Amino acid sequence: MPDASTALPGRDTPIMTPGKHVVNGRDLDGPYPEGMKELYVGMGCYWGAERAFWELPGVYVTAVGFAGGITKNPTYHETCTGQTGHTEIVKVVYDPKEVSLNELLKVFWERHDPTQGMRQGNDVGTQYRSALYLTSEADLEIAQETAAAYQNALKEIGKDGQITTEIGLLDAFYYAEEYHQQYLARNPDGYCGLGGTGATCPLPASSPSPQE
């Protein structure tokens, strides 16, 4: 991982102006309806990960980009050099009255392998590391609790690897280029390397229902 002295400098100007979601026509960058919440997930290549979330009931809109690094407004190719510190991220805007954070995190844990460090399957590099970025301390605590629960679930199926997911509060999110947004809707036969471990992530008994 680069540090501030070795990371690429980036730029002050965003590399794209977020437009409309290709599937549902909603604005990628808002404004969003009142009451919407945000979750930022890294599961390897963001193409398949984004589709996994835009298909979920209660998800208002999704977008792909970069977070967790140093370089301002990085390009995709810069991120792929490993010299920005970012990982590929899906921004998930959702209605907590329709889908809970715990339910979204269940999808996150089960749809990829969070024990692989700086890779996901055949995709190798810092930009493919598993990550969860939250927007409040309360959500951060929930994410950490689900990580502990999923670690136990992995142990129960005999998978010895430790979860390497980077979990923290969101610092900054930078939108990726337009052609990456909803890539698998634009290119139905495109690459999707998502693959889970086979372990089921348990929802806590205290998890609020979508109506609460």
Rounded distance, CA 189 to CA 201, Å? 29
Q: 135's torsion region: left (phi>0), alpha (psi -120 to 50) or beta?
A: alpha
Compute the distance between CA of residue 99 and CA of residue 103 in angstroms, rounded to an integer. Answer: 7
Non-local (6+) Cβ contacts of 190 within 8 A are 47, 183, 184
Q: Kindly name the residue from 45, 80, 192, 201 that is annotated as catalytic.
A: 45
Distance CA 166, CA 113 (A): 13
Instruction: Tell me if residue 45 is catalytic.
Output: yes
Peptide bond into 208 cis (omega under 30): no
Residue 171 near residue 68 (C-beta atoms within 8 A) = yes
CB atoms within 10 A of CB 158: 8
Residues catalogued as catalytic: 45
